[in-house]
């Protein structure tokens, strides 16, 4: 039971004190679950992030569910997920119930302008940590460079292209590379 409470409290803190959604939470999840508590490895965190991005649902909740499952199976997944969701739900409920025009309050609006910058930095921090823990190959460098260029072009020209398209192309490149590598290795063995 102590592990379940620790999972709940850990993810409740992350859910309560991280602004900017799932991507901003990735850096904090990695810091706590990999660095401090050692519940998962850097490689697992990278895998979780890719899987959480590729599956339905918010990325941070998917990450919490995975970590909880890894620690205590189904009950761990439930406690971690509820811990991640509950603070945001309560905060949004209170704001919607009691504060009409919450974002129209001048100091709140200005605070959120500052928070936007911090959220961007948290997302960059998560990306840098993931890249620094990746064993670079030529193929990975090509995929990273191509994805960065694609994102820049999409944003500069305000194109309506989902990031899912970039992920699918990256996955296809990885699969094709794997098939070519296996085929050439199989040919060499003959």
Reported as a single tens digit per residue, the pLDDT across 94-133 is 887 777 777 778 888 888 788 888 878 877 887 888 888 7
pLDDT band at 189 (very low <50, low <70, confident <90, very high): low
Q: Are residues 139 and 129 in the same domain?
A: no
Question: For the residues 86-91, what does the mean pLDDT come to?
Answer: 90
Q: Where are the alpha helices (DSSP H) in 19-105?
A: 22-30, 42-54, 59-98
Number of domains the chain is built from: 2
Q: Are residues 57 and 98 in the same domain?
A: yes
Q: Are residues 130 and 157 in the same domain?
A: no
pLDDT, tens only, 5-54 = 999 999 999 988 877 677 778 888 999 999 999 999 998 998 888 888 77
Q: Are residues 19 and 51 in the same domain?
A: yes
List the domain range (segments joined by +) for residue 86: 2-134
| Predicted pLDDT at 96 | 79
DSSP helix/strand/coil, 21:
coil
Q: Are residues 163 and 100 in the same domain?
A: no
Q: Are residues 117 and 161 in the same domain?
A: no
Q: Report the distance separating Cα 33 and Cα 45, nearest Å.
A: 9
pLDDT, tens only, 129-182 = 888 878 889 988 999 899 999 999 999 999 999 888 998 899 899 899 989 888
Q: Are residues 21 and 7 in the same domain?
A: yes
Q: Are residues 120 and 183 in the same domain?
A: no
Q: Are residues 6 and 88 in the same domain?
A: yes
Q: Are residues 124 and 141 in the same domain?
A: no
Measure the N-to-C terminal CA separation of the chain; round to a whole number of Å: 56
Q: Report the distance separating Cα 160 and Cα 22, nearest Å.
A: 21
Q: Report the distance separating Cα 131 and Cα 112, nearest Å.
A: 29
Q: Which two tokens stand for residue 59?
A: 């990325």
């Amino acid at each position: 039971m102590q592990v379940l409470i620790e999972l709940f409290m850990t993810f409740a803190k992350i859910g309560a004190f991280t602004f900017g959604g799932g991507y901003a939470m990735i850096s904090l999840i990695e810091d706590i679950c990999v660095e401090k508590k050692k519940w998962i490895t850097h490689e697992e965190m990278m895998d979780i992030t890719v899987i959480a991005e590729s599956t339905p649902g918010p990325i941070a909740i998917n990450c919490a569910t995975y970590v909880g499952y890894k620690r205590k199976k189904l009950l761990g997944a439930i406690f971690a997920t509820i811990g991640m969701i509950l603070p945001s739900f309560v905060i949004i409920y209170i704001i919607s119930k009691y504060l009409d025009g919450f974002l129209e309050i001048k100091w709140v609006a200005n605070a959120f302008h500052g928070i936007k910058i911090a959220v961007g930095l948290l997302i960059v921090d998560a990306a840098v940590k993931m890249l620094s823990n990746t064993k670079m190959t030529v193929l990975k460098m090509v995929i990273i460079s191509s994805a960065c260029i694609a994102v820049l072009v999409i944003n500069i020209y305000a194109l309506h292209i989902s990031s899912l398209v970039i992920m699918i192309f990256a996955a296809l490149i990885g699969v094709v590379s794997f098939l070519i590598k296996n085929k050439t290795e199989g040919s060499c063995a003959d």
